[in-house]
Amino acid sequence: MKPLSTIAVAFFLLSSITLTKELQGSETSPARPNILFIVSDDHGWGDLPSNWDKTEVRLPTLEALAASGVRFPNYHTVPLCGPSRACMFTGQYSTENGMWRGPGQQPLGSPGYRGIKRDVKMLSEHLAEAGYKTGAFGKWHMGALEGEVPNDRGFDEFRGFLAGAHSYWITPARSKFMHNRQPDRTSKGHATELFTGWAEKFIRESAAKDAPFFCYLAYNAVHGPLRIDESKPASAPEAWVKKALDRGVSFVRSDYVAILEHMDHNIGRLVRLLDELNVADNTLIVFVSDNGGCTMEDGSLGGNFPGNNGPLRGGKATTYQGGLNVPFMMNWKGRLPQGMVSDDRVMHCDIFATLLDAAAIPIPEMNGENPVRGMSLLPHMVSAGKESIPERTMVFELWGNIGVRKGDYKLWSQVSRDHSPDWDALVAELEHTDLALFDLGKDIAEENDLRTELPEVYASLKSELIDHLSNVNGEYPGGGSRLGRSGDNRTTSDSTAKSTPTRPSRDPFFKNRDRNGDGAITLEEYIGNPKGRNVPALTRRFKQFDSNGDGKLKLDELK
Task: Give the pLDDT band of residue 498 (cuts 50, 70, 90).
Answer: very low
Angle value at C-alpha 191, between 186 and 195, nearest 5 degrees: 85
Distances (CA, A) of 204 to 197, 275, 276, 280: 11, 12, 10, 13
DSSP-assigned states of every residue in 390-434:
PP--EEEEETTEEEEEETTEEEEEE--TTSTT-HHHHHHHHHT-P
Domain contains 523: yes
Question: What is the model's pLDDT at position 302?
Answer: 74
Kindly report the pTM of this predicted structure.
Answer: 0.84
Would you say residue 481 lies in a domain?
Answer: no
- Asked, for residue 487, whether it belongs to a domain, the answer is no
Is the residue at 118 inside a domain? yes
Per-residue CA distances from 419 to 83, 105, 423, 474, 516 (Å) = 17, 20, 7, 13, 27
Q: 329, 363, 382 — which closes off a domain? A: 382
Question: Same structural domain for residues 318 and 463?
Answer: no
Q: What is the pLDDT of residue 528?
A: 75
Contact 96, 473 (CB under 8 A): yes
In this structure, are 444 and 309 located in the same domain? Answer: no
Residues 170, 53 share a domain: yes
CATH number of 559's domain: 1.10.238.10
pLDDT at residue number 19: 52
Looking at the fold, whether 303 and 201 belong to one and the same domain comes out as yes
pLDDT, mean of residues 265-277: 98
Residue-level pLDDT at 527: 80
Exposed/middle/buried for 153, CB within 10 Å: 0-12, 13-18, 19+?
buried
Q: With bands split at pLDDT 50, 70 and 90, how would you rate the model's confidence at 246?
A: very high
pLDDT in tens, 464-490: 999 999 999 998 887 655 543 333 333
Percent of the chain with pLDDT over 70: 86
37 within 8 A of 216, measured Cβ to Cβ = yes
Taken as a whole, the chain contains a residue count of: 559
Same domain (yes/no): 469, 549: no
Number of domains within the chain: 3
501 has a pLDDT exceeding 80: no
Interval 84-126: pLDDT, tens: 999 999 999 999 999 999 998 888 888 778 999 999 999 999 9
Cα 74 to Cα 101, 160, 202, 378, 458: the distances in Å are: 23, 30, 32, 16, 22
495 in any annotated domain: no
Q: How confident is the model at residue 533 (pLDDT cuts 50, 70, 90)?
A: low
